């Protein structure tokens, strides 16, 4: 990479093996169901997650939108965490394109909604209200330390969904980071939800694409919505080929990224003015803040890292940073960031 890029795992490039597989992929028209590589990817996604079927979609955002539109119709309500990506960072697509009404519920610092608050958010049968149809959760939680949320939380949400006849969707953009941190197979987590959207890009390094998984009927409706939303991608085997490597192989190596994130957290804890709780670093994301007494502001640190050290890093809330580890960031790049911060923060 030209720059050392910690802004997100979305910046990761395809691996050499992916580029080779893409160049030689067998293709067909996927809207006709004729692309063998897309079909192979969808079969693999269904098998790995223990779901009946899967659908290759263009992005995590499109996967979440299609899922919400299948589960909740026009004027129906979806209960979601107020910090969730579907609520904060998808341009309001669920409401604008799906006519699904968002019902945001406060989240804790792991991105979890309070179960009592979820129950309280469910509407009584009254013509004044939209009808509650869906609960959405996110795991790992991209905006909240990349937390890997244990299964008991999903089990509690499943119980609420069953009690009130709601559907349950998981934004599993980084679900393999969560299951790696929890030491479980992805199918164990999927058993609690009706559907999930899983990104093949991000930490898994595919250049493009996500899969959604669920039962046959969910995917049947999702396929039509994908066409409606402009996501029928024709000879998509070119990119699905990288997705197969992402799911099959790259999902198995994420502990390396988590170890590098932990290395960064331990290093940051030693640097003056930096605040970090290494226990909160469970996956590939490192959130930290720099105190107001530091010689440089957050904006100055970001600029000087970019201009003098060739390092890009993301901001988060007031004086915070988010550094994300991925395949192209090794212990060497982690140490480069630590050394640069040490130098900048020891300036008089």
Q: Is 284 in the site for ligand TLP (CB under 6 A)?
A: no
| Contacting ligand TLP within 155-214 (CB under 6 A) | 171, 173, 199, 201, 210
Number of residues located near ligand TLP, criterion CB under 6 A: 14
Distance CA 63, CA 56 (A): 9
Window of 20-28, 58-66, 98-106, 226-234 that interacts with ligand TLP by CB under 6 A: 58-66
Which residues make Cβ contacts (< 8 Å) with residue 252, sequence separation at least 6? none
CB of 322 to ligand TLP, least distance (A): 8
Residue nearest to ligand TLP (CB): 60
The string of DSSP letters for 264-284 reads HHHHHTTSTTEE--GGG--SS
* Under rule CB under 6 A, residue 91 binds ligand TLP: no
Q: How far apart are CA 130 and CA 59, in angstroms?
A: 28
Please report the beta strands in 92-165, taking only residues with DSSP state E, as ranges in sequence order: 101-105, 131-138
Evaluate whether 323 touches 264 at the Cβ level (below 8 Å). yes
Q: Of these, 8, 275, 310, 330, which contacts ligand TLP (CB under 6 A)? A: 8
Nearer to ligand TLP, 8 or 39 (CB): 8
Which of positions 254-273 make contact with ligand TLP (CB under 6 A)?
none
Q: Which residues, 221 to 250, sit near ligand TLP by CB under 6 A? A: none
Q: Does 10 bind ligand TLP (CB under 6 A)?
A: yes
Q: What is the closest distance, in whole angstroms, from the C-beta atom of residue 131 to ligand TLP in the complex?
A: 25
Residues ≥6 apart with Cβ < 8 Å to 306: 3, 312
Nearest approach, Cβ of residue 159 and ligand TLP (Å): 24
Element (H, E) at 153: helix 151-164
Smaller CB distance to ligand TLP: residue 122 or 261?
261
Work out how close the CB of 277 gets to ligand TLP at its nearest, in angstroms, rounded to a whole number. 20
Q: Angle 176-179-184 (CA atoms, 0-180°, nearest 5)?
A: 135
Pick from 15, 59, 179, 298 the residue near ligand TLP by CB under 6 A.
59
CB atoms within 10 A of CB 32: 9
Q: Token pair for residue 60? A: 């995590």
> Could you tell me the smallest distance in angstroms from the CB atom of residue 252 to ligand TLP?
21
Structure tokens at 311: 């390092």
| Secondary structure (3-state) at 212 | strand
Spatial distance between the Cα atoms of 93 and 102, rounded to a whole number of angstroms: 10
Nearest-approach distance from CB 324 to ligand TLP, in angstroms:
7
Q: Of the two residues 122 and 195, which places its CB atom closer to ligand TLP in the complex?
A: 195
Q: Which stretch binds ligand TLP (CB under 6 A): 59-67, 74-82, 122-130, 221-229?
A: 59-67
Q: Of residues 89, 162, 215, 308, which one binds ligand TLP by CB under 6 A?
A: 89
Give the integer Cα–Cα distance in Å for 103 and 72.
12
The backbone torsions φ and ψ at residue 211, rounded to the nearest 5 degrees and listed phi first, read -120, 145
**Is 308 buried (19+), middle (13-18) or exposed (0-12) by CB count in 10 A?**
exposed
Select from 138, 194, 257, 333 the one that contacts ligand TLP (CB under 6 A): 138
Contacting residues toward ligand TLP, per CB under 6 A: 8, 10, 59-61, 85, 89, 138, 142, 171, 173, 199, 201, 210
């Amino acid at each position: 990479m030209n720059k050392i890029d910690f802004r997100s795992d979305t910046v990761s490039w395809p691996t050499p093996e992916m580029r080779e597989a893409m160049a030689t992929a067998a293709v067909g028209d996927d809207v006709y169901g004729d692309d063998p590589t897309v079909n192979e990817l969808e079969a693999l996604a269904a098998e790995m997650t223990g779901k009946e079927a899967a659908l290759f979609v263009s992005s995590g955002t499109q996967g979440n939108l299609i899922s919400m539109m299948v589960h909740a119709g026009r004027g129906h309500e979806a209960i979601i965490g107020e910090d969730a990506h579907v609520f904060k960072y998808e341009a309001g697509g669920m409401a604008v394109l799906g006519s699904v009404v968002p019902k945001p519920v406060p989240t804790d610092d792991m991105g979890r909604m309070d179960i009592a608050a979820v129950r309280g958010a469910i509407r009584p049968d009254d013509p004044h209200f939209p009808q509650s149809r869906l609960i959405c959760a996110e795991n790992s939680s991209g905006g909240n330390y990349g937390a890997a949320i244990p299964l008991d939380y999903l089990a509690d949400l499943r119980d609420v969904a069953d009690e009130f006849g709601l559907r349950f969707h998981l934004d599993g953009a980084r679900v393999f980071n969560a299951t790696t941190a929890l030491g479980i197979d992805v199918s164990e987590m999927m058993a609690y939800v009706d559907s999930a959207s899983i990104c093949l890009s991000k930490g898994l390094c595919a250049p493009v694409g996500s899969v959604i998984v669920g039962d046959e009927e969910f995917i049947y409706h999702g396929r039509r919505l994908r066409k409606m939303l402009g996501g029928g991608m024709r000879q998509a085997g070119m990119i699905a080929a990288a997705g197969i490597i992402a799911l099959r192989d790259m999902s198995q190596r994420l502990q390396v990224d988590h170890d590098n994130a932990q290395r960064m957290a331990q290093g940051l804890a030693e640097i003056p003015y930096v605040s970090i709780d290494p226990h909160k670093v469970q996956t590939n994301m490192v959130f930290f803040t720099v105190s107001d007494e530091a010689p440089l502001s957050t904006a100055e640190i970001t600029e000087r890292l970019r201009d003098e050290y060739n390092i890009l890093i993301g901001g988060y809330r007031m004086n915070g940073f988010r550094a994300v580890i991925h395949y192209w960031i090794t212990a060497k790049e982690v140490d480069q960031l630590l050394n640069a911060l040490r130098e900048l923060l020891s300036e008089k």
